[in-house]
Structure 1
Amino acid sequence: MPWIKIRYVQMVLLFFLLGMSYAIRTILSVAIVAMVTTDTSINSDIPTFDWKNTGVILSAFYWSYALLQFFAGPIAHTFSPKWILTIAMVVNSGTSLLIPILAVHLGSGGVIACRVIQGIAQGFIIPLVHTMLGRWAPTEERSWINTTVYSGCSFGTIISMPITGYISASWLGWPFSFYLFGILGMVWCVFWIIFSADRPATHKSISLEERRYIEESLGQAEEENIQVNEKVPWRAILTSLPYWAVVVGAIGESWGSTFLITEIPTYLSKTTDINIEKNGLYSSAPYVVAAVLTVIYGPLADYLIHSNVTSRKTSRRIFHGLGAFLPALALVWLAYEKNRWGIAALLIVAISLNGAMFCGYNVNHIDISPRFSGVLFGISNGIGQTLAILAPLLVQFIVYDETDKDLWRTMFVIAAIIYAATAVVFITYLSAERQWWDAISRPSKGDFQSELQSHRDQELINQ
């Protein structure tokens, strides 16, 4: 129907894609508590296991997920995003359905294998979502469409953690959580196949008016993309100090978010009197706040820059610092907090403010290299996720007694130090200027800076 904007249909589908993928990713963080605890469910027939390698199980997803970041970007531009996402979500959902079965018959090894496969499948999702947004989101609507779609990440976590906690404590038991979200993922695939398309030109139901609007809005960007056929300037990129500042920022965010999402449910279960049902609620509550703030950070940062309240560089520093230093302080405080409401408040601060870093290091990829931002993001996110794998493994090594709060304090302090140290490096060495090696003709560094300054002067005159 002509009154339905097809680009918004794509936005909703991508929102639920990220929601379902993050829900499936985070089920295990809560379910693992019930899987290794004998008195969680009221149903005595629900299987439990005596596993000592929970750190390995929780980190297994990130082994393959991190590796795929380096390759998914180029693949996204070579093959159909629609069908790659379909396959990725079928695999992701299918392995969720298999986890309870393989846990019983193959033990922790079966669960680890499924999580590695899920990491491979989900490794394609974020780069392909970027590709779809680049084709469907008009320039004038890009900020709010992007933030709306990516708020699906928090949405998935919000629904998976409390639902998994509730189901695990019920007669249905923890296996039903994997079945539920696996089936929902398959349902999403049906809607995606019917209502999605790789680009406006190939969608059967889009109006000619909307198609022209999107294509005219993105025409200039598409012309630039056509010119990007020359080789990636690897040497210049890998010797660029501003880019390595971005990489360090990515390491801090990846480590912190991975630690929080994988270990907080276990911490709450083992060191407090919070049961599995409330555990899911406590673990997910911060993501409710994060979902709201996610759609505020981006427009606010843009407003500060466009209103000349701050420079672009200062804005990047403010938001990255907000997303790193305050969560670091919250984690140190959390290590000594005993009151359950205090714990909930500190978790909200640590997790919801973490998202502000996406207006720091994340968008800085585009600041320094709009042409190669996808390549840069793949490298930095790959490195960040690779090192983030160590978070649950380090917990397993340091927190050998999960009921010992002193051991957990060590982990919280380590996470806080990583947050703060990486933020200091990024804030000190970041650049908000387009780098000389990003130019199409790739002139010398000095010539490019002169040309760039002339372009900015002309923009000021036009304003």
Structure 2
Amino acid sequence: MFKVFGPSVGTEKSTHPVTFCKISLGRRHVQYSLLFFGGLIAFAIRASLSVAIVAMVSDHPPDPDIKTYPNWTNKDVILSSFFWGYALLQVPAGFICYKYGPKYFLGVSFSIASVLTLLAPLMAEKMGSSGIMISRIIQGLSQGFLYPSTHSIMSKWTPLPERSRALSFVYSAGTLGPTIGMPIAGMICGSRYGWPMVFYSFGTIGLLWSFTFLWLCHNSPQEDPGISKVEQKYLKQQIHGDSGGKRLPVPWRSLFTSIPFWAIVIANSGNNFGFLTLLAEIPSFMEGVLKYNIEQNSFLSALPFLASFVIALFLSPISDSLIVRKKLSIEASRKIFNCLGTYIPAVALIVLSFINPEMKSLAVLLLVIAVGINAAVLVGFNANHIDIAPNFAGILMGFSNGAGQVAAIIGPLLVQVIVTDQSDPSQWRIVFIIAASMFISTSTFFLIFASGDIQRWNGGGESTTTKGIALTSYKYVRVEKAVNIEAESEE
């Protein structure tokens, strides 16, 4: 056990040392937890339709009173419709979060998405598949604030020595959400409550999170009245390139002519094409080619995303340790982990496209590898926004994730065109090879052109490296040093 300084333990501004499993819990961890659970619920809502749609178009519901729509032939278009709205609002959301702060925009927009989830069964009954598409488009618009807001908040709350771990924890919700959401959706769909209860349950949980987030979230340490002076000082020291709360003018020309920025955009696009196509289409592949029923399907479809969550939590401290101990530069770490997260899945998908469909266990294993190892990109391109421009991280995320969502729209629509017979492995082979090609080509661009340095246009007049920075892990700050920091801040 190490004695650590616990800024939020005991009283609002405690100055007493505590021992707590080598981890100093602070107000920043409240923000991480809020954002993690928000992402978890958002992705559970998003992924649950991939399972629910199978039940919605079934001829044989578990209860004859449950209405289904077997005449719907536009399943992949419905799955794609979420991203139409989601992609549209990414860039404006990034700018809005930068200018006005993300807290209220994310909280209110999330509540709107949750209400639309609750209304989905009614809209299906009254308007058919068009009703579900309208619901999903508006949900997508509302969730468009999720990633720009998250990155904007994290850029103000995440010190460099724990950046990989914090970002991986928060964004691993994107893989844990399907892991939880898909099996639950499968169980509900197979029960007497049927597919409508999927939307009622997840919509209610989403509303509860929105109220909690609006109560506890703060845009930055400066806005949090309960943060200790020690933690505030630590964050100020370790978040390099911070503008100190000032609103700097957005350097649009420099941003759009920045090669490291475009490396992130291209990496995000290729990764989203591959990952989100798999997220939407794995249940259909499981049913059509591997012949699993809906309950088996939902559990096995979630398994790759569970692997992704576990791998993200395993790799992120390795990345932080390599950077803090100066075994790797930030740039080298981001590039190595990004390649691991894309090249290995690409190989797995290529092998998957050529195996015999009767080899079900191997097919599932390859899907687990393809989706699981992809978690490494969370400490690759995904963390790189804050590395190169912490002052504009939300705006950068808005642009790069917006481009990524356009790629995500194309994926399911491409499947609709290519896979005319869902039981035909040769048609799925084309889909998997295209996804693998996108993983490899875009990650290679990132490998060549990405940077780990804070860019000149972030503010401050010149680019910054971490070579001269004393990286201090907060959990090893001794009590005497913490008290000195507080005394210093009071002066």
* TM-score, scaled relative to structure 1: 0.88
Partner of residue 49 from structure 2, selected from 25, 28, 32? 28
What secondary structure sits across from 1:224 in the alignment? Answer: coil
Partner of residue 102 from structure 2, selected from 62, 70, 81? 81
Match of 2:353 in 1: 335
Cα distance in structure 1, aligned partners of 2:41 and 2:393: 26
Q: Is the 8 A contact 1:136 1:199 kept in 2?
A: yes
1:243 aligns with 2:272: no
- What per-residue deviation string (whole Å, max 9, x for no partner) do you get for residues 238-264 of structure 1? 233333222221111110111011011
Following superposition, the deviation at residue 132 of structure 1 comes to 3.1
- 1:211 is matched by which residue type in structure 2? S
What secondary structure sits across from 2:281 in the alignment? Answer: helix
Match of 2:477 in 1: none
Partner of residue 182 from structure 2, selected from 161, 174, 189? 161
Following superposition, the deviation at residue 201 of structure 1 comes to 5.9
- What per-residue deviation string (whole Å, max 9, x for no partner) do you get for residues 187-214 of structure 1? 223433444444556657x3xxx43233
What secondary structure sits across from 2:149 in the alignment? Answer: helix
Rate the CA distance shift 1:170–1:271 in 2: closer, same or farther, 3 A: same
Following superposition, the deviation at residue 368 of structure 1 comes to 3.4
Match of 2:206 in 1: 185
| Larger CA deviation: 268-277 vs 145-154 | 145-154
| Larger CA deviation: 370-379 vs 336-345 | 370-379
Cα distance in structure 1, aligned partners of 2:376 and 2:331: 15
1:82-161 residue pairs with structure 2 within 5 A? 82-137=103-158, 141-161=162-182
Q: Is the 8 A contact 2:149 2:394 kept in 1?
A: no
1:294 aligns with 2:312: yes
Q: Is the 8 A contact 1:138 1:214 kept in 2?
A: no
Cα distance in structure 2, aligned partners of 1:119 and 1:283: 22
Match of 2:392 in 1: 372
| Larger CA deviation: 221-230 vs 378-387 | 221-230
What secondary structure sits across from 1:103 in the alignment? Answer: helix
Q: Is the 8 A contact 1:36 1:51 kept in 2?
A: yes
Cα distance in structure 2, aligned partners of 1:230 and 1:287: 39
Cα distance in structure 2, aligned partners of 1:175 and 1:419: 36
Match of 1:431 in 2: 451
Rate the CA distance shift 1:94–1:142 in 2: closer, same or farther, 3 A: same
Cα distance in structure 2, aligned partners of 1:190 and 1:375: 25
Q: Is the 8 A contact 1:137 1:214 kept in 2?
A: no
Following superposition, the deviation at residue 71 of structure 1 comes to 1.2
Match of 1:393 in 2: 413
Rate the CA distance shift 1:307–1:388 in 2: closer, same or farther, 3 A: same
Q: Is the 8 A contact 1:7 1:137 kept in 2?
A: yes
Following superposition, the deviation at residue 48 of structure 1 comes to 1.8
Cα distance in structure 1, aligned partners of 2:333 and 2:30: 32
Cα distance in structure 1, aligned partners of 2:288 and 2:158: 45
Match of 1:42 in 2: 62
- What per-residue deviation string (whole Å, max 9, x for no partner) do you get for residues 124-168 of structure 1? 122222333344456665543333332322222111100111111
Following superposition, the deviation at residue 122 of structure 1 comes to 0.6
Partner of residue 217 from structure 1, selected from 205, 211, 234? 234
> What's the Cα RMSD here?
2.7
1:410 aligns with 2:456: no
Rate the CA distance shift 1:238–1:329 in 2: closer, same or farther, 3 A: same
| Larger CA deviation: 212-221 vs 416-425 | 212-221
Following superposition, the deviation at residue 31 of structure 1 comes to 0.8
Rate the CA distance shift 1:248–1:192 in 2: closer, same or farther, 3 A: closer
Following superposition, the deviation at residue 330 of structure 1 comes to 1.1
Match of 1:69 in 2: 90
Following superposition, the deviation at residue 103 of structure 1 comes to 0.8
Q: Is the 8 A contact 2:241 2:459 kept in 1?
A: no
1:297-336 residue pairs with structure 2 within 5 A? 297-336=315-354
Cα distance in structure 2, aligned partners of 1:191 and 1:302: 30
Q: Is the 8 A contact 1:228 1:440 kept in 2?
A: no
Rate the CA distance shift 1:2–1:316 in 2: closer, same or farther, 3 A: closer
Cα distance in structure 2, aligned partners of 1:459 and 1:11: 24
Following superposition, the deviation at residue 79 of structure 1 comes to 3.5
1:282 aligns with 2:300: yes
| Larger CA deviation: 120-129 vs 235-244 | 235-244
Q: Is the 8 A contact 1:200 1:211 kept in 2?
A: no
What secondary structure sits across from 2:172 in the alignment? Answer: helix
Rate the CA distance shift 1:315–1:142 in 2: closer, same or farther, 3 A: closer
Cα distance in structure 1, aligned partners of 2:215 and 2:328: 45
- 1:320 is matched by which residue type in structure 2? N
Cα distance in structure 2, aligned partners of 1:333 and 1:192: 43
Cα distance in structure 1, aligned partners of 2:33 and 2:49: 26
Cα distance in structure 1, aligned partners of 2:444 and 2:410: 21
What secondary structure sits across from 1:77 in the alignment? Answer: helix
Following superposition, the deviation at residue 215 of structure 1 comes to 2.1
- What per-residue deviation string (whole Å, max 9, x for no partner) do you get for residues 260-310 of structure 1? 110111111112220000111011111112111212222212222333433
1:3 aligns with 2:20: no
Match of 1:445 in 2: none
Q: Is the 8 A contact 1:236 1:437 kept in 2?
A: yes
- 2:314 is matched by which residue type in structure 1? I
Rate the CA distance shift 1:75–1:234 in 2: closer, same or farther, 3 A: closer
1:446-461 residue pairs with structure 2 within 5 A? 456=467
1:440 aligns with 2:460: yes
Rate the CA distance shift 1:130–1:427 in 2: closer, same or farther, 3 A: closer
**Across the two proteins, how many residue pairs are aligned to each other?**
446
- 1:46 is matched by which residue type in structure 2? I
Q: Is the 8 A contact 1:228 1:371 kept in 2?
A: no
Following superposition, the deviation at residue 46 of structure 1 comes to 1.7
